[in-house]
C-alpha cells in the first residue's frame, strides 16, 4: 500500500489506505483513524510535470513483479493508475 500511496502523491506518513469511489472521487484513511474519512477529491486534470515525473520515477524503479502487485492492489481499491501516471 505504501508504494500505491506514493504513486498517488500521498504521504505514507499521513495516510495508510486509499480508494476510489464509483463517481471518481478519492478517499483515504489517515494513520490511526478508522474508516476512509479523508476526502481527497478528484485528481487534477492537468497535474504539474514534477508530480507526474515523481510518480513515474517510483513506478519505473519497481521490478516487474512489484509492478504487477501494485496494479493488482490498485484494481482491488478501484484506483485508476492513469489518473496519476498518464496525462
Which pLDDT tens digit goes with each residue over 38-60?
A: 999 998 877 788 888 888 999 99
Q: Where does the pLDDT of residue 84 fall: very low under 50, low under 70, confident under 90, or very high at 90 and above? A: confident
Whether the Cβ atoms of residue 55 and residue 7 lie closer than 8 Å to each other: yes
- Secondary structure percentages of the chain, helix, strand, coil, to 5: 40, 15, 45
Q: Is 54 exposed, middle or buried (0-12, 13-18, 19+ CB in 10 A)?
A: middle
Domain residue extents for the chain: 2-85
**pLDDT for the residue numbered 87:** 47
In this prediction the pTM is 0.79
For the cut 90, the answer to whether the pLDDT of residue 86 exceeds it is: no
Nearest Cα neighbor of 42 from 58, 22, 12 is 22
Amino acid at each position: 500500500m505504501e508504494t500505491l500511496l506514493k504513486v498517488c502523491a500521498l504521504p505514507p506518513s499521513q495516510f495508510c489506505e486509499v480508494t476510489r469511489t464509483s463517481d471518481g472521487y478519492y478517499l483515504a484513511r489517515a494513520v490511526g483513524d478508522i474508516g476512509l474519512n479523508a476526502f481527497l477529491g478528484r485528481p487534477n486534470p492537468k497535474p504539474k510535470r514534477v508530480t507526474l515525473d515523481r510518480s513515474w520515477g517510483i513506478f519505473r524503479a519497481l521490478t516487474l513483479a512489484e509492478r504487477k502487485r501494485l496494479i493488482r492492489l490498485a484494481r482491488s481499491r478501484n484506483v485508476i493508475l492513469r489518473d496519476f501516471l498518464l496525462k
